[in-house]
């Protein structure tokens, strides 16, 4: 008989836009099987996320591996990982669409990093705007570019 490492598992199934996706989260607390686990002082678990996608009869499987300081709770870890990627994807989509980030050609010195930091600050200031306004982030970015008063409000100066 094959001896398996003890683990917990959680599974979610999503059917949307003609795609069936099954996500499985396998979480382990047997840290001794990792190479030098002591190099991660707060390590409490590691996980494998397996995504099985079926689109038009074709199935693909992708596995991603995570180290975590969370307890080995498969459902909680799966939800945390899903939330993280949702935020990441939303941020990168927004930066690309609104700030044309993929077309940025700054390549010398620290220019690309510095501009990315400024774009993140700008995006966060616009998202945190306490005054409800019509229009999306793109429209508010244009208003901020042309209105000293609106820019001052975003920065908390007015």
Which pTM does this prediction carry? 0.57
Contacts of 59 (CB under 8 A, 6+ apart): 52, 53
> HSE-up of 21 (CA within 13 Å, CB side)?
10
For residue 124, is it within any domain?
A: yes
Given the structure tokens 């616009």, which residue do they identify?
Answer: 126
Tens place of pLDDT per residue across the chain (158 aa): 555 666 889 999 989 878 899 999 999 998 888 889 999 989 999 999 999 999 988 999 999 999 999 999 999 999 998 887 776 667 767 777 677 766 677 767 788 778 878 888 888 888 888 777 777 888 888 888 899 998 888 888 87
Q: Two tokens at 66?
A: 């995570």
In the prediction, which pLDDT does 124 show?
Answer: 83
Residues 9, 68: one domain? yes
Residues 12 and 80 in one domain: yes
Joined together, the tokens standing for residue 4 give: 């398996």
Residue 24's domain comprises 1-86
Same domain for 109 and 81?
no
Residue 153 lies in a domain: yes
Q: Are residues 49 and 16 in the same domain?
A: yes
Domain count, the chain: 2
The answer to the question of residue 24 being in a domain is yes
In whole angstroms, give the CA distance from residue 154 to residue 147. Answer: 11
């Amino acid at each position: 008989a094959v001896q398996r490492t003890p683990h917990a598992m959680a599974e979610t199934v999503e059917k949307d836009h003609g795609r069936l996706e099954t996500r499985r989260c396998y979480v382990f607390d047997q840290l001794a099987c990792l190479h030098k686990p002591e190099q991660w002082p707060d390590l409490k678990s590691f996980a494998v996320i397996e995504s099985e996608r079926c689109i038009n009869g074709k199935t693909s499987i992708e596995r991603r591996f995570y180290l975590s300081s969370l307890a080995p709770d498969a459902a909680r870890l799966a939800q945390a990982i899903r939330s993280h990627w949702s935020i990441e994807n939303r941020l990168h989509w927004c930066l690309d669409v609104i700030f044309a980030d993929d077309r940025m050609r700054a390549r010398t010195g620290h220019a690309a990093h510095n501009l990315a930091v400024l774009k993140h600050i700008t995006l966060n200031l616009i998202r945190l705007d306490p005054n409800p306004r019509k229009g999306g982030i793109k429209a508010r970015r244009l208003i901020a570019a042309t209105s000293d008063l609106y820019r001052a409000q975003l920065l908390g100066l007015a």
